[in-house]
Every structure is written in structure tokens, then in C-alpha cells.
Structure 1
Amino acid sequence: MSDAAIQLFSTLTCPKCGHQSTETMPTNACQYFYDCRGCGAVLKPKPGDCCVYCSYGDIPCPPIQESGDKSCCG
């Protein structure tokens, strides 16, 4: 466990259109789907990532921040 505070906001960047949106991350579950507000693409985690925040966000999800374990949700 880290002494750093858990960050609850992450800026997602769509790989299709580049649109960026800052979102509040859930603390009790991983978010597997995200609808891009720019182009409407449905984002899913990249292989090996637990959620869209770990794949497309500038801050990983709270469980990863806390434990560093990429299998936190699976």
C-alpha cells in the first residue's frame, strides 16, 4: 500500500479520434466499456489491462493505484 493519495479522476483519450474527457473513476468496480464523447466509439480495455482507465487514461484505476496488481478486477 502506498502513502500517496488515491486519485479519483483520470483523463481518457480516445485512440480513434483523440478526444479527451476527464472522468471520475469508480472505486468499487472496474469500468470495462466507455462511450467516447467525441466520436461515439465504444472503448474496451487493451489485452492485459483491467479497465478503460488503465488502457486509455492518464491515471490508472484506484485498485491498480493501491495495489499495483493488474489483475485487480479479473
Structure 2
Amino acid sequence: MPTDACQFFYECRGCGELLRPLTGDCCVYCSYGDVKCPPIQEGNGCC
């Protein structure tokens, strides 16, 4: 996971589906990850 940026799109290596953030989330890490992205964890805005 990048520590200084968010990732808006992610293509699943298993099935090829293109994931996008859920409504209200800034990136795929915040929507589908176990923890929020580093900028959010540090209290900064995302992207």
C-alpha cells in the first residue's frame, strides 16, 4: 500500500473485476482493506 497516495481503481488478479471505492470512501483501501489508507490514518485528507 502506498504511504503517500490513494488508489482509486484496483483490478483483481483473481477474477479481473475492476474495484472502485464505495460511496463515501476515498479509495479502494478504505472500502475493501482491513485498515484505512495511510493518509486517513495520519489524519490527513485522502487524495
Is the pair's TM-score, using the shorter chain for normalization, greater than 0.5?
A: yes
Contact residue 26 and residue 46 of structure 2 kept, 8 A: yes
Q: What is the DSSP-based 3-state SS (H/G/I as helix, E as strand, rest coil) of the residue aligned with 1:48?
A: coil
Runs of 4+ in 1 over 6 A off after TM superposition: none
Q: What is the DSSP-based 3-state SS (H/G/I as helix, E as strand, rest coil) of the residue aligned with 1:27?
A: coil
Structure 2 match to 1:33: 9
Structure 1 match to 2:33: 57
The aligned length equals 47
Map Cα deviations across residues 15-52 of structure 1 (whole Å, 9 max, x no partner).
xxxxxxxxxx1112110000111110000100110100
- In the superposition, the TM-score normalised over structure 1's length comes to 0.57
Q: What is the alpha-carbon root mean square deviation over aligned residues?
A: 1.4
- In the superposition, the TM-score normalised over structure 2's length comes to 0.85
Structure 2 gap ranges (5+): none
